[in-house]
A and B are shown apart, each in its own frame.
Chain A
Amino acid sequence: MKTLILILLILTSTCISAAETPMNNNFILRAGFSFNLSRLETDRLIDNHESDDGEPEDETKTLGFGLATSVAYRWDDWEFVFASDAVFGSFKDITFIYDTNSIRGGGHTRLVSLGPQIKFFTPYTLLNKANIYLGFGPAWSLQTFVFRDARTTGNFNNKRRISFENYGGGVFIGFEEILPFKENHPMFLEIGYNYMHSYKVSVLDATDTAEVTTLSEGESNEFSAHYIIFRAGFTLF
């Protein structure tokens, strides 16, 4: 039995040592959580009533939580990254204009953003345990507003959604554990800022969840958002 355990141990350790892959000159898949503190701004507004959330009528603050994933190729100090955040949050009171009618209310919002980034690992460390890095890159996003209690002067119900397609970009700073191999699963923590501006708006009907239909869509530059993003996660492989 001892021999059997010994053989199994040797085999297992062989698998582990054979699987050790350096971080440099390799593809890296990271995943973690993303917390978003965002300020959403809309331009076309009715300005003669007070907002429920105590904010100016043309803006609302939301807190979102979701998943952050990225796939990267790393050289020694540089990384080319393709990253995405999928964040869900809620909003208390915001007003949009749709076909000369106003839609006002609270509900939840979902944000999907993705884009390429360049990341630079500085020679500076945090207690010799984590490498400090900086990054930037453009981003594209889809922000969808789902109303829970839409008050409208026109034909809009809670099965309808307003979606903004946005572009923008952001910068971030973070640190990642200094560990030699991907299999050590180095952790990272970063904080970033993103600014997004809408280029397209769509009104959707989600009565049939299997096939969401677009009721109308058009160009838009009336929505913008500032995001403070905290991401924490680790290298999967």
Chain B
Amino acid sequence: MLNRYHNMTKFVLSLVLLFSLIESSLVSAQIISKNAIQGPYLQDDVIINPKDNSRTPLYQYKYVEREHTLTENVKNIGIVYGLTWVFYPIIQPKVFKINDAPEKFRKNFGKVVFDKDEPIWNFFVHPISGSQLYLLYRADGYTRTEAMGMAAISSTLFEFTVEILTEPASVQDLYQTPILGTVLGLGIETASMSLLNSGTTLGKIIGHAINPATLLPFYEGRTLIIPRFEDQDKGAMIRMEMRY
């Protein structure tokens, strides 16, 4: 019985030794294979090149510009204009009063004044909304100048027909929403593209958060790069995706 127990212990110890040997050989094999990787390899959605430690994401984000027909322009302006009618009363519950709205609309229609709002509105809130308008049109393939123009049309329509439900159209808003908005939008555009192409998850999250128009179905700038690492067919295949 004691001998049997002794044999069993020897067997278990041998097994442990065998497993540890196999494991260590596997680890060293892994180290060897990692060291052996000279060329780029794929990890999740990122191509990693150990030579220069570069990370190239499979999905590249950029802006694809294209021409738009007049019908498309009118349709896009119409959609944004419709959305302002829906969202303005929701985001301005303090100043929007349904009972006063028709009277204020009549009183403010066609008036343009200098508004006396605090700087937070004119230099922060309006430029932010202007920047998102600019980025929305950029995502739909408008050039920078066209996107600024479309943002100007949208914000002018809003000022003269929607915001007058609460206050007259304002000179500062007419200028600052599209122009300061475009300046800010351009900064966001550059920053978000760098973040989205950084190859990091956090970069992608922040990139989409500051430029949410890149998540919309009509954003055409998400490009898939399919690399080929084999010697016989080195190269890359690039596919433009029309949908996120």
Contact = CB atoms under 8 A, between A and B. Distances in A.
Interface of A: 1-4, 7-8, 11, 15, 26-27, 29, 31, 67, 69, 71, 82, 84, 86, 88, 110, 112, 114, 140, 142, 144, 161, 163, 165, 202, 204, 206, 209-212, 214, 236-237
Contacts of B235: 3-4, 7
B150 interface: no
Contacts of B56: 4, 8
A114 B175 contact: yes
15 contacts: A1-B49, A3-B236, A4-B234, A4-B235, A27-B145, A29-B182, A29-B183, A71-B148, A140-B114, A140-B171, A142-B172, A144-B116, A209-B120, A211-B95, A237-B145
Contacts of A15: 62
B119 A110 contact: yes
Nearest to B118: A209
B135 interface: no
The secondary-structure label for the interface of chain A is: strand
Given A7-B236, A11-B238, A84-B176, A31 B119 contact: no
Interface of B: 39-40, 47, 49, 56, 62, 94-95, 114, 116-120, 122-123, 144-145, 148-149, 171-172, 175-176, 179-180, 182-183, 186, 225, 227, 229, 234-236, 238
8 pairs of A and B residues whose beta carbons are closest in the complex: A142-B114, A4-B236, A3-B235, A237-B144, A209-B118, A31-B183, A27-B145, A212-B116
A110 B182 CA distance: 22
Contacts, number: 86
Given A29-B148, A29-B179, A204-B116, A1 B122 contact: no
Contacts of B225: 4, 8
A1 B120 contact: no
- Most chain-A Cβ atoms within 10 A of its Cβ — which of B118, B176, B236, B238? B118
B198 to A, nearest CB: 15
Contact of B172 (A67, A112, A204): A112
A140 B174 CA distance: 14
Contacts of B49: 1
Contact of A210 (B94, B145, B148, B236): B94
A8 B183 CA distance: 28
Given A112-B172, A212-B116, A237-B144, A1 B234 contact: yes
A204 B114 CA distance: 13
Given A27-B145, A69-B183, A4 B227 contact: yes
